[in-house]
Structure 1
Amino acid sequence: MLDLAEQAEPVARACHAMALRFHRGGKLVVFGNGGPSTDAQHVAVEFVHPVIVGKRALPAISLTADIATLTGIANRVGLADVFAHQIRILAEPADIALGISTDGNCENVLAGLRAAGTLGMLTVALTGGDGGLIAGMKDLDHVLIARSTDPRVVKEVHVTTYHVLWELVHVFFEQPGVLTPEVA
């Protein structure tokens, strides 16, 4: 299972990269299939409407929240392309793509991350198991794997992980000079 203490450096690197994109005007584009679709919506809400008073709201959208768009695209171009299609239309190179897949093999999440990478977006993935096909992607910027085959455990680790991502992105915003070009 993903031990967040052992993954501190990869998590911090992902958060710093995300904070830089937000600092430069980017938005977070989150997506997942099945259970992770609700995680995508949860993540977007956390960034847009922080429950902790005083934390900065940051732009985020869930590609699973608009069921009319999702089903319309699935009907016309197929379920495998629902996220990639939306990314090509809605996203910009300055944005962040966060794909969530319980086993790392979800075809539409994989396609969404590929489309995001092609566009020049920062790509971050939360996966489970051995990371699946997503972890094997060449051009993926950050992948965090909950190493469990139990989808319930993966789900719980993902929830903790995206809350940590949210918190550390905000920590970077609160530290003067951390988002300047000199800091790597």
Structure 2
Amino acid sequence: MKNYIKDQIKKSYETKQAIYENEALLNEIEKVAQMCVDLYKGDKKTILAGNGGSAADAQHIAAELVGRYGFDRPSIPSLALTTDTSNLTAIGNDYGYDQIFSRQLEGMGQEGDIFIGISTSGNSVNIIKAFESAKKKGITTVALTGRDGGEMAKMADVALVVPSNSTPRIQESHILIGHIICDIIEKETFGDGV
């Protein structure tokens, strides 16, 4: 069993190593972080959504921004569309599960916001529909995906595609990327920069 545990750790490390060595992806991560820094200077917000583990990641990243990441500072506006069960169930019941995020973006999103859609496959229909709503409202879209990026990568203004086909490895890398972006936002906005 210990060898299995070590193998899982090794696979996680290898995925992160692939990100570390991918200059194009590193440039895109930097681009998203800078977009968010600029966004917060303009009194806008980040909005995140995903399904399952990606829903948890959306909530996690939003909480790091609203609460704190590395040090005490003023709250940063960020919203996870996965947390309001009344909205999710009402929209799902009345309009269908595919509309649970797009309908919320229609009501709460504003031009100039950034929507970060999280999906390991890049093909989650409700995130794709949310991208469509975001485009109509002038909201910038970021796809946080894996595998080949799926349809989301084609639609997004910026796509962060983890170079892996393994859902657990992609999810582990998504939270790493999310933490890096939160760290840069916090330091650039309230600290001495990075």
Compute the displacement of 1:123 (Å). Answer: 1.2
Q: Which moved more, 1:163-172 or 1:28-37?
A: 163-172
| 1:1-184 equivalence runs, <5 A | 1=15, 3-5=19-21, 6=23, 7-137=25-155, 140-174=156-190
Alignment gaps of 5+ in structure 1: 179-184
Compute the displacement of 1:175 (Å). Answer: 7.2
Q: Aligned-residue CA RMSD in angstroms?
A: 1.7
Contact 1:28 1:95 in 2 (8 A): yes
The one-letter amino acid of 1:50's match is R
Alignment gaps of 5+ in structure 2: 1-14
Compute the displacement of 1:53 (Å). Answer: 2.4
* Cα distance in 2, alignment partners of residues 17 and 51 from structure 1: 18
Partner of 2:111: helix, strand, or coil?
coil
Higher helix share: 2
Aligned residues: 175
Compute the displacement of 1:113 (Å). Answer: 1.6
Which of structures 1 and 2 has the bigger CA Rg? 2
The change in CA–CA distance for 1:51 and 1:164 in structure 2 (over 3 A counts) is closer
TM-score (ref. length: structure 1)? 0.89
TM-score (ref. length: structure 2)? 0.84
* Cα distance in 2, alignment partners of residues 156 and 163 from structure 1: 11
Contact 2:69 2:186 in 1 (8 A): no
Partner of 1:61: helix, strand, or coil?
strand
Percent of residue pairs identical: 30
Contact 1:26 1:95 in 2 (8 A): yes
Provide, for residues 140-175 of structure 1, a one-character-per-residue CA deviation record: whole Å limited to 9, x for no partner. 221100121110000100010000111112233247
Dislocated runs of 4+, deviation >4 Å = none
Contact 1:87 1:116 in 2 (8 A): yes
* Cα distance in 2, alignment partners of residues 4 and 21 from structure 1: 26
Contact 1:25 1:94 in 2 (8 A): no
Partner of 1:19: helix, strand, or coil?
helix
Provide, for residues 22-68 of structure 1, a one-character-per-residue CA deviation record: whole Å limited to 9, x for no partner. 11000111100121011111111110001422344200111000111
The one-letter amino acid of 1:144's match is L
